Amino acid sequence: MTESRPRRSVRRTLPERKRIALIAHDGKKAELLEWAERWRETLADHELIGTGTTARRIADTLGLSVAGLMSGPLGGDQQIGALITEQKLDLLIFFWDPFAPQPHDPDVKALLRLAALWNIPVACNAASADFLISSPWLTQAYEMTIPDAGAWISSRTGE
């Protein structure tokens, strides 16, 4: 009998220098920019990745290096999701707007689902982002469990 979900039995170690995704819906971009300005020195010590306008505004305003992906509605959220599944992302800071429906809401839900599945720390507002960015684990290696995708696939295919 196959399992309905993969077990979290594989260990993954997040590096000391984290790969942090910064995403904000239009109604939250100013708030994320203000938050990033407060934490500029800390963010500068890590690898930053962002979607569309958010990445460009953070880079232009704060002078930080931010790898820019596509805008969320054009697939940027899915690009971030791919980085999560490839274990190339360590933290997700996503200021999403609970008052504005988005044309890509299914992509947003899928992104948050992947973050939960792969045990990625997520902040959805300034307070939770403050807690994440001020954690002592931010600058230390952190060992966690993630799904054993290979074993799960094998159990489902009989290989």
Residues carrying an active site annotation: 77
Cβ–Cβ under 8 Å, residues 23 and 129: no
CB of 35 closer than 8 Å to CB of 14: no
Structure tokens at 71: 């805008």
Beta-strand relationship, 8-14 and 142-147? antiparallel
Residues 6+ away with beta carbon under 8 Å from 92: 20, 21, 23, 80, 84, 111, 115, 120, 121, 122, 123
Helices (H), 44-138: 52-62, 76-85, 105-117, 126-133
